A and B are shown apart, each in its own frame.
Chain A
Amino acid sequence: MIDFEMPTPVSRQVQFIGMLGEQVMRPRARYYDDHEGERPAEYTSLIWQTVRAQGGRNFSADSSERLDRDGRPRPRIGYLMLAHMVEALSWGDAGMYLATPGAGLGGAAVDATGTPEQKERFLKRFGEGDPKWSAMAMTEPHAGSDTAAIRTRARLSDDGREWILDGEKIFVTSGAMAARDSAGFVVVWATLDPGAGRAAIKPFVVEAGTDGMLVTKLEHKHGIRASDTAAIVFQNCRIPRENLLGSEEIGDGRGSTGKGFAGAMRTFDATRPLVAASAIGIARASLEFTIAYLQQRGVAIRYDVPLHRQTAIERDLRQMEAQHRAAWLLVLRAVTAMDAGRDNALEASMSKVKAGQVATFIAQKAVELLGPEGYSCTLLLEKWMRDARINDIYEGTGQINRLIVARRLLGYSSRELR
């Protein structure tokens, strides 16, 4: 049955995170935007208590089965919950949300491709001690969306006991915190044979502080500055042979268990709606602020008037509101499909395309509507506009996601529609 009723635990969680956003994130948002590279410690220390208590699995869906009072399995809401959490945290501050300690993206790769032994060895740390981060290193200076073109090499040492990594990774989210500033790790994607394409690309876990792994640069970004974005160079970087996640064999790239490169790519089906949710959080922040700001100054916002009687501001706001709601519903559709265990690649990419675009549209429009106030750093609107812009770029640009949507709709392979 078609239904728009939110489960109570979800609404409760959103309310709780909203308070966190208001009391801990918003008051410090401007400071960390001005002090790029500083860890937003008030937020990270606080959220670490929660993350650690949950075994470090920040932003991974709860897939455990729960029974209702009559002993029937309750519908899963893991991804629905997650999307709401990400949305609400990003409403508070998207940069801080990205700097959340825990297993994160690197942990997701370990989860998707590692053996049980590896999961135990690498993920246990996130349930104890001080805040830790993990990171995922895929992009290289010459290879972004075209991940199959990466050049970072992995070769076995002469005694066969170690992998030796050489290459350069860029745009590593939380790279400095994972590789240098905490007892975390970086999942590095490298090729065993540059001539063998995707099939030879494997994930390797490199522990923080490993010799030969060097954070060479922290990017200065347009927005999301509370989150570090690092360049990491690997030079004769030796790691134990057991740190390759999954199989060493160069198969067809799919692997019998679906855990190879293609398997990891499939984790994007899960993460794309979450990026979209983050975008929506920023959009909602901008929209709510703009409406409240205008209403406090006596600007009426009416919904029952025809086009010709709407003011220009009303017309803009209606468009912003409808765009926001439409994009958010697409996100909810993608995550409920995920929770139901259905293939959601199409819905995931659709939501990412839409939300990436809508967040930027809304935030830019909000700055416009408030004129010099909107443009001023005394408010957060201009920051939200900068924060929003990344969402149409990372985790698959809008164009890559349009390609994915179009291939699905047209029944084309990646060869037929490039």
Chain B
Amino acid sequence: MISFTPSDEQQLVIDTVRRFASEQLRPLAHDADELRSTPPEVLTRGWELGLFHSAIPEAHGGIADAQAALTGALAIEELAAGDAVLGWHVLLPATFAVPLAHAGSAAQRERWLAPLLEGDYTPLSAALIEPAWDFDPTAPRTVAIADGEEYVLDGLKGYVARAADAAALLVYARLADSLAAFVVPRDSAGVTVLAREQHMGLRALPTYQVRFEGVRLPADARLPGAVAPLLDRSRVALAASAVGVARGAYEYARAYALQREAFGRPIAQNQSIAFMLAEMAIEIDATRLLAWEAAWRLDRGLPATREAALAAQYADEMVLTVTDRAVQILGGHGYIREYPVERWLREARGFPTFLGLAIV
């Protein structure tokens, strides 16, 4: 029966993560962006929230319930409302482990999942995006070729978070005509971590280009399950993240407009400002509902590629518009780095390129 009310458990997740995001992430976000680093303590504290564990099904040692993707979307929105980049950094191991939970073999889960669930924050991540304007996640240029009992991997990846110190990467590659994913220990022969990348945003999370040259992998490095649906999970996570970023920007601009006076009254009393805020709020809510519906389909095991793609593309545009308007509402202050809104605009522009950096 149709309902837009989170369960009591989900509301608890929302409240807990919201507190963490506003008390821990937001105050750190400015310096993390300027200094291009995340304080390790925040990753430890974030890990303790147990969000990672909520994404892993009980059968594999986690505590996920029947609405894991939805709960994940709710949590990611809250993290992103504090700071998306720090939030993704907190959840980074999920980009390695959630695919293993859904498409991995028992041996792969045994080897990688169990220690993660019992241990501390460990930098493990995924390599999906490639540094090319025409990158297509369903047909990457990175290829794996079967060679006897082994696979040989060749290609160049970008946006690989924590590649410098991650023990292993989940590498997406084309195998024959379909998409496959492989667990690749970073110290494998032929893996070269190149220079750290510099982006307009996404600065608190260290990302690297990584070259794979004739990397030989055993047959059991490949995830046996379907890989394409994992992209839908990432699209939903990004749509929810976009909602969080946009909400942060909207709330900031709203508070500013209520307090900033011009011509003897708060600027929010001008329709030009008030209408912008109304439209921002409507678009944020609309996008959230799209993301929720796609997540709900994932949880139900229904086909979700269409819904996830529509939600993500809609969210990409929405978050850009909303953060851009927040900059406008703050006027000159919006352009100054002391205020967070220009940072949000920088993050927002990157959303169409962020596939794979978060997952539900």
Residues of A within 8 A of B (CB): 1-7, 75, 77, 80, 303-309, 318-319, 321-323, 325-327, 329-330, 332-333, 336, 350, 353-354, 399, 402-403, 405-407, 409-410, 412, 416-418
Contact = CB atoms under 8 A, between A and B. Distances in A.
A321 B305 CA distance: 14
A303 B309 contact: yes
Contact of A2 (B3, B285, B311): B3
Contacts of B310: 303, 318, 321-322, 325
A336 B2 contact: yes
A305 B231 CA distance: 11
B111 interface: no
B109 interface: no
B279 interface: yes
Given A2-B67, A303-B306, A304-B309, A326 B286 contact: yes
A416 B1 contact: no
B268 A403 contact: no
Interface of B: 1-7, 10, 67, 70, 133-138, 228, 231, 254, 257-258, 268-269, 271, 274-275, 277-279, 281-282, 285-287, 289-290, 292-293, 296-297, 305-307, 309-311, 313-314, 352
Contact of B290 (A75, A329, A410, A416): A329
Contacts of B1: 3, 5, 7, 75, 77
B278 A405 contact: yes
Contacts of A350: 281-282, 285
7 contacts: A1-B3, A4-B293, A308-B133, A326-B289, A330-B286, A333-B4, A354-B286
Contacts of B268: 410, 412, 417
Given A306-B135, A329-B289, A405-B282, A4 B296 contact: yes
B9 to A, nearest CB: 9
A61 to B, nearest CB: 15
B286 A3 contact: no
Nearest to A3: B3
Highest count of chain B CB atoms <10 Å: which of A6, A309, A402: A402
Contacts of A399: 275
Nearest to B8: A1
Nearest to A342: B5
B282 A354 contact: yes
Contacts, number: 140
A326 B315 CA distance: 11
Give the secondary structure class of A's interface.
helix
Q: Which 5 A-B pairs have the closest CB atoms?
A: A329-B289, A326-B286, A406-B274, A405-B278, A322-B314
Given A306-B135, A350-B281, A417-B274, A1 B309 contact: no
Given A303-B305, A306-B136, A409 B281 contact: yes
Contacts of A1: 3, 5-7, 10, 67
A304 B138 contact: yes
Nearest to A326: B286
- Most B-side CB within 10 Å, residue of A322, A353, A403: A322
B296 A2 contact: yes
Contacts of A403: 271, 274-275, 278
A353 B275 CA distance: 11
